[in-house]
Structure 1
């Protein structure tokens, strides 16, 4: 058995602020390479295991039915969409027309052909 005795004459030294200690564990160059390769291997395993969630099928969706119109002087994208869309749904129709025609903005040119969804 062991015993512990405390002497009343024992006074602790004032607590000094702790200085930052250097780590006793250091990675060598080979250790860093092994650590990096292990990380990459784990990342590859995780990405391969989750890749099944992002598969595509061979069958494409049914193409949307469209009609082609020619832009006349004074026509705007919002005006054309307003004629087609239900009340309150003009922005959605503008977005759909932009996607169908691969338009980056809302600018149209006279004589331009637009594919419009059939409602």
Structure 2
């Protein structure tokens, strides 16, 4: 019972060329995915009311109790196809859908 067991130190980890390529490609893929998601998020973000906003947004309205984007589009841009105006409002305000809530401030696209 007094026998002692000696362990050899493990050999240092060595990567083959293929292993290094796999690791570099994996890290590059993760970085590219992160950059893509960041760029996508930045492209959808709206400004907080700065100077550049006036070039894109003509005016803003506060959504009433029974307002819809369609109704706002018809009232604000008569003579323009409401489908186009609704899509432009969705894009301009970075809305996930065409659903709006009373009290919400919506920017109307410039003509």
Q: TM-score scaled to structure 1, two decimals? A: 0.44
Q: Relative contact order (alpha carbons < 8 A, sep ≥ 6): 1 or 2 greater?
A: 2
Q: Between Structure 1 and Structure 2, which shows a larger proportion of helix residues?
A: 2
Structure possessing the higher radius of gyration over alpha carbons: 1
Q: TM-score, normalised by structure 2?
A: 0.47
